[in-house]
Amino acid sequence: MPDRQEPATTETVPTPSRREEFSAFIILAILIWPVLAVGIVGGYGFLVWMWQIVFGPPGPPH
């Protein structure tokens, strides 16, 4: 018996409405990206601070 393959079905994804796109933009622009930016800058500052605690501040040795 040969294997029969089912025909490929294409599911259509409904396109988001203008309101859904706008609310997604607002969530990204006002909530996610600012929190992410503060987290990245704060994390880098913390990393530099810890590096300087362990290895000392930059500059010539005294």
Ordered by start, the domain boundaries in the chain are 20-56
Residue 22, CA distances (Å) to 17, 18, 25, 34, 54 in order: 9, 6, 5, 17, 47
Residue 62, CA distances (Å) to 14, 28, 42, 53, 54 in order: 67, 48, 30, 16, 16
Report residues of the chain scoring pLDDT below 50: none
Q: What pLDDT is recorded for position 14?
A: 85
Q: What pLDDT is recorded for position 1?
A: 60
pTM value surpassing 0.75: no
